[in-house]
Structure 1
């Protein structure tokens, strides 16, 4: 029979879960302890520790928390994304939003949970294609995420070949340079001109006061709200809506429509909301 953890270790586990939620907004109830330990295993073994219990002692009894905090954030963040994920959203962007965009005005879009960059680069490809047909169309894309390590991957723009399967062949040929990584595996890199059109920055959505332009045309906030409690969901939605222009659109994940309750927003399609008024 597995021995019960000591009172100190039980306290450390609760403190760790609370720390993750306080820092990232991600809910970590006690029944997710095994998931937490699985995600942290690579980190604690890399610094010579044998168990999660040893790691907790290192954090809370041996002053290791400050040095480890960035690694903890990187590992507990989900970072699951794909190119052209939820494709109906991109069709709405191309066929409903862009044709109504005022000529001569820059189009400003924020990918607010950008992870390793697939969403932002999907959008960049589509906006680049649109710009090819509308010569005076100018655009800017900001991608943000809480994890500095995952943002380094996004900036590099290098993806294994199997992650590129959902990209139409014409776009793959135009916007990716194919090759092999250091392990000899085939991969593709977003070509430099497109990489330069996307700016990535580290940002924690639960902190508020986002250093992001106002009067944005579109915000993609997909598949991150589900990890927050209801109070945090409402606050994040409200603050992001503050950054949208009247007439701008918010995209959320398909499982997140029910948590969007800001009175300034009207649902116009599945998981797509339009800001109808300023206050």
Structure 2
């Protein structure tokens, strides 16, 4: 009983070798740390989830208890921040998820933007903020590459910035290699055009076309920290990211997005996200599509 009580209060490893328990003090520290460094709000109901997911990090780091993990975060927070954020958040992504956003780009926004850029000589920039494993920016790149060809605008300086906090997700995004079953959202025509199917030891995998790699720059970024880029961006995709953030963090983030978008610039959110009661810099113009007010 004494060993069990110690495990519950101090987050120590269990004597029988089972998974360590997350103590009260360790959970409070982790909750405060995650809110400060990641903007993610963890309620008490998330305690079991945090314990289960971070137990894998303890095994990977060969740490016996949560107290040691908290000490690691205190001593060197940046080294573990990406892995911690990956562990406690659920990155659900897919090629052409919420297809209406891509349709709006292809049919209305990109033709207009490219015509303007050709006349002015300005560059075209799209930011995929919280790109996870890369399906979103590469889907954007397919639409952009097709628009550049269709509208005779291959000379326009057009790029997509893809950022995320998770080192594992960024590695996948940089590699651009996906199991065939992950390509379900891509039409047959686009799959033939933009995905290179592997063979031999790469059987069952597909790699993105080199042209898409040319259009996408994958970089690590914590949305709560300083941003090296200054914009402006024509569009920012931040979909299914702010669902984890508390209200003050959302408000700060959307103000910063507004600062990187010109009047008329577009912000795309996830299907369960909204700016209602959060920010007045944007007006809703479509399903989870916002335009910066002039």
7-16 or 169-178, larger mean C-alpha shift: 7-16
Give the structure-2-normalised TM-score: 0.84
8 A contact 1:161–1:186 mirrored in 2: yes
Alpha-carbon distance change, 166 to 23 in structure 1, aligned in 2, over 3 angstroms: same
Unmatched segments (≥5 aa) in structure 1 = none
8 A contact 2:161–2:217 mirrored in 1: yes
Say whether 1:238 aligns with 2:265. no
What is the match of residue 166 of structure 2?
A: 147
Alpha-carbon distance change, 90 to 78 in structure 1, aligned in 2, over 3 angstroms: same
Give the structure-1-normalised TM-score: 0.89
Write the distance in 1 (CA, Å) between the matches of 2:194 and 2:152.
Answer: 19
Say whether 1:191 aligns with 2:209. yes
Pairing partner for 1:205 from 217, 223, 230:
223
Shift of 1:61: 5.1
Shift of 1:181: 8.3
Alpha-carbon distance change, 122 to 23 in structure 1, aligned in 2, over 3 angstroms: same
Say whether 1:31 aligns with 2:48. no
8 A contact 1:181–1:187 mirrored in 2: no
8 A contact 1:257–1:270 mirrored in 2: no
Unmatched segments (≥5 aa) in structure 2 = 12-22
Shift of 1:103: 4.0
Deviations 1:203-240 (CA, angstroms, capped at 9, x unpaired): 11122x42223221100011111110111101101101
8 A contact 1:120–1:141 mirrored in 2: yes
Structure number with the higher strand fraction is: 1
Alpha-carbon distance change, 257 to 69 in structure 1, aligned in 2, over 3 angstroms: closer
Backbone CA RMSD of aligned residues: 2.3
Write the distance in 2 (CA, Å) between the matches of 1:190 and 1:25.
Answer: 32
Pairing partner for 1:94 from 82, 87, 106:
106
Shift of 1:78: 2.5
